[in-house]
Structure 1
Amino acid sequence: MSYTRALVDGLARLLAENGAGVYRPDGPYAEGDTAITVAALPPAPDRVICLSAYPVLDSPALTDTTTGIQVRTRAGTDPREVDDLDDAVLAVLHASGPDRFGDVPVQLLYRVSASPIGADASGRWERTANYYARAHRAHPNLE
């Protein structure tokens, strides 16, 4: 499994284990679920936590890396619901670590920014937050 896949899959499982939502990488979500997804925000269910990784900083001489994870949340038509969902994610992820997701050791995970997005076409409120994962990323040129 690749570094990015292991990291995002591990974070999704961590959120699910701590009750923030339901992670089914291969299965459909029920109407009342809070879905945890990777990269794509599905049209249903209403409540979603979507994780997307992006590079921030890779050391040219060490395996040290900082990877950003965008956490996009969506909930119902009451804007307070998405705030509650974002707070549930913060409670699990912010200042967490050390963790190991597959072959990926993560020393520290922390939130660096967050912002409301507004409502989607169906009136469901959305937010985005960015977390940084300080980790080690194995690389053949650094062995």
Structure 2
Amino acid sequence: MLVPEQHPLRFKKRFGLADIENLPLIEWPYCPLHQSFIRLLAERGIALQVQASAAREELLLHMVDAGMGLAVVPQSHAAQARRALTRPLDGPLAFSRHIGLACDASDAPLLGLLHRLADGMKATAAQPEPTQRSNVV
């Protein structure tokens, strides 16, 4: 969670999924992770109070900094926040990504390389995470 530095919830150290119900949120509809997160909340019956919608990451960060609301963003984007505070979002968050690999079927060396790459990626993805925390803040 990105929390404005003067927001009353700035002292909360972590947020659960139920904690964000009816909080003033800024949505980021063009972020694929955000779309997955919204679907997850809808599946759990958690209602959102959307205050604003940001088309770009920079705009979202400025809106949070201005105190317009809180935002749920990938951890990698939270580092770009200037004044907003980041707080972990706990809970069973299951997000997945799909990667497609393609090559000409007659290119045997490349086809073999892609098979090895895909097998390695599957093995890496199957390994359990070191912690149960998500990469969403």
Shared fold (TM-score, shorter chain, > 0.5): no
More strand by share: 1
Q: Which has the higher contact order (CA 8 A, sep 6+)?
A: 2
TM-score, length-scaled by structure 2: 0.28
